[in-house]
Amino acid sequence: MFSLDYRLAPEHPFPAALDDALTLCTMIAHGVPADSIVVAGDSAGGGLALALLLALRDADEALPAGAVLFSPWADLTTTWRAARGRGPATRGAIRRAARMYIGDASAWDPLVSAARGELHDLPPIHIQISDSEPMYEDVRALAERLIARAAQCRSNAGM
């Protein structure tokens, strides 16, 4: 097991955390087989894990065997619908956190909001979320996109 201590916002806005996550390529270059790696993350770390998969795929790098995303915050474009004012994760707090992470980038950049990216040619992804969590609607939308994309890939493979 390897646990990455990636740089955090606001001191280190996007793309610092993603750059740190890309050290996975160093592990692979030093002989760790990509198919023996499963990336995982919780909340913002879940969004980072998904962004890592997109970045690796788009760079034609070896992909890990899969990913596990716990309550992934993978869409920073929808802070208006998150939290519904419950608990410590209010809409205002989520918006502030998103602005700190995004920095000078766009919330619509697929490596910032990986749920908005192209979800093709990714390894298997397991997602866990509770229906009482602030990001529930966004995570359900992400899961539906992943399921639809997998079905489309299976359909295209059968042609």
Gap between the Cα atoms of 79 and 97, Å rounded: 10
pLDDT, tens digit, for every residue of 110-139? 999 999 999 999 999 999 999 888 888 899
Tokens encoding 134: 């602030």
Q: What is the pLDDT of residue 132?
A: 83
- Residues of the chain falling short of pLDDT 70: 80-89, 153-159
pLDDT, residue 85, reads 46
Beta-bridge mates of residue 41: 69
Q: What is the pTM of this model?
A: 0.91
Domains and CATH numbers, the chain: 16-157 (3.40.50.1820)
Return d(Cα 36, Cα 45) in angstroms, integer: 20
CA atoms within 13 A on the CB side of 53: 29
